DNA sequence: CCTTTAAGAGTCACCTTGACTATAAAGGAG
DNA sequence: CTCCTTTATAGTCAAGGTGACTCTTAAAGG
């Protein structure tokens, strides 16, 4: 940034102002599907349309702080939950005509949540709910594109980071972790190979000591693991077949 | 983005306005070093300090359009050159106090240029010049951090994309391409192994037919190559030793 | 003419990976 | 209770990619 166009006695109101918003693509894996948190708009433009949650960045906030606040307001997640959430900046959308009313620049974030509570539709949103990613179309503004970019980014990050654990509860089985990859990538992975890769990568997961097994599903009970300290995968866990992007 | 806080007859001037700028971390490899394009500020704040080139996003522009315009104005690169430049959005910096005067949100971009012309210091910049990356400190605003983020991002992208060719002229030798990796990563790579990797990756580079060799340096003349059609590297070309990020 | 420098060809062992087989431990159906 | 299905977990094996090296070729410089 720079003020080279701004004379000493610059009047901030002399220019057409820009509004800055923070929007969130909140993703989760539920019921074997990738799901997105959406809100229904109550006002024009796009009244009645579904949109990504988000809202204006207020004067004392950073974009990320605004994103966390809006998420808490609109979904009923507790402040503590939102504060500990894995939130990552996706990119900024600044096309001049993306909002019909005025100039709005949107800083988009991606959030990954495990086993989410039902959203309450609070705040200013008419209602809020989880929707399966592949059934979502026709969102307000350019939110279809933001959502697609978020999906692509998350899919790519799974390859070379330990991000997948952010989709899982604190303790999880390797089957659950594998489901995350399969759901986001839309492919099936070989169980033994996936297991070998995860367990031989130092710091990806760590075994839980106490009760060595968990029951609940159909097959043989699985051991529980916690997220390890590592954040990146070397070498990466590449998608089979297709190219990323 | 959303207008949930905005009543029907919303007055854009009722809020403290945000200014939006586009700043660029323009990188090149010259004289065996990674270099950055900087401008000297002529006005307060930070008058006399060096900063990344950039400026305000004007009402009819997207942030990327503003970035290209500012780059052309301040460095003397032709409009055609700037239009064809590899420009990638880095991230957006929105901390409330990053500009002492008013609320300024900066969308940062990374640009990679091959064999750059001397900047002219045109536009509003007092002067402009290339500086070696590792000697740069004390830039205006939070530009030190933006620059560090750009370096990290570029280093990471070299691993899994064909981005390195963007640092090279249209026709280049494998030695030049290898220098890009070595300079950005700060490591030495094994010549034969690098060659094997690049040549066996489909679409990374394509051999130039005509005059099969180029002279100029000291050793055996090298064959020339052009960038191939591929954009991603599968499998990636990982940095030796250290972790990314 | 010899040294230096870098390109380019080739070798070899190791590690990772993909494909696959086998066994163990649960639930459900008959 | 037994068979069948499902899932976890333990292995095996071959192909491919990579790191570490060696060797040859072709220029420039002294």
Which of B2, B56, B125 shows the shortest C-beta gap to A51?
B2
Which of B55, B62, B141 shows the shortest C-beta gap to A94?
B62
Does B45 contact A at CB distance below 8 Å? yes
- CA distance to B50, B67, B127, B139, B147, per residue, from B47 (Å): 8, 21, 12, 11, 19
**Residue A9: its pLDDT value, please?**
42
Q: Are strands B50-51 and B205-207 parallel, antiparallel or unpaired?
A: unpaired
Stronger pLDDT, B118 or B192, i.e. the higher one:
B192
Between positions 137 and 166 of A, the ones with CB within 8 A of B are 140-141, 160
Point out the residues of chain A with pLDDT beneath 50. 1-10, 12, 243-245
**Residue B210: its pLDDT value, please?**
64
Query: A5 beta carbon < 7 A from strand D?
Result: no
Q: pLDDT tens digit string along A127-155?
A: 899 999 999 999 999 999 999 999 999 99
Residue B65 confidence (pLDDT) above 50: yes
Distance from CA of B152 to the nearest CA of A (A): 14
When pLDDT is averaged across residues B179-204 and rounded to a whole number, the result is 97
**Residue B245: its pLDDT value, please?**
35
Residue in chain B nearest A50 by alpha carbon: B2
Give me A242's structure tokens.
């297709």
**Residue A163: its pLDDT value, please?**
96
Q: pLDDT tens digit string along B120-159?
A: 766 667 789 999 999 999 999 999 999 999 999 999 999 9
**Residue B17: its pLDDT value, please?**
80
DSSP class per residue in B105-147: EEEEEEEE-SSPPPP---TT-SEEEEEEGGG----STTHHHHH
**Residue A243: its pLDDT value, please?**
43
Residues of B in contact with A47 (CB under 8 A): none
**Residue A180: its pLDDT value, please?**
97
**Residue A218: its pLDDT value, please?**
83
Residue B198 confidence (pLDDT) above 50: yes
């Amino acid at each position: 940034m720079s003020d080279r166009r701004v004379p000493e006695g610059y009047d901030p109101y002399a220019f057409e102002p820009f509004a800055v918003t923070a929007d969130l693509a909140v993703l989760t894996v539920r019921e074997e599907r990738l799901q997105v948190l959406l809100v229904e708009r109550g006002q024009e433009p796009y009244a009645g349309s579904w949109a990504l949650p988000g809202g204006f960045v207020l004067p004392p906030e950073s974009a990320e702080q605004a994103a966390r606040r809006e998420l808490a307001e609109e979904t009923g997640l507790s402040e503590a939950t939102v504060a500990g959430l894995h939130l990552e900046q996706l990119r900024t959308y600044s096309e001049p005509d993306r909002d019909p009313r005025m100039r709005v620049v949107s800083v988009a974030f991606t959030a990954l949540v495990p086993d989410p509570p039902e959203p309450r539709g609070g705040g200013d949103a008419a209602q809020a709910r989880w929707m399966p990613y592949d059934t979502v179309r026709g969102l307000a503004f350019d939110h279809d594109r933001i959502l697609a970019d978020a999906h692509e980014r998350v899919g790519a990050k799974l390859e070379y980071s330990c991000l997948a654990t952010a989709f899982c509860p604190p303790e999880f089985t390797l089957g659950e972790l594998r489901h995350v990859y399969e759901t986001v990538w839309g492919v099936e992975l070989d169980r033994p190979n996936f297991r070998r890769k995860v367990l031989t990568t130092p710091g990806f997961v760590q075994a839980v000591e106490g009760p060595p097994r968990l029951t609940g599903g159909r097959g043989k009970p699985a051991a529980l693991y916690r997220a390890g300290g590592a954040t990146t995968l070397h070498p990466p866990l590449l998608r089979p077949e297709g190219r990323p992007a």
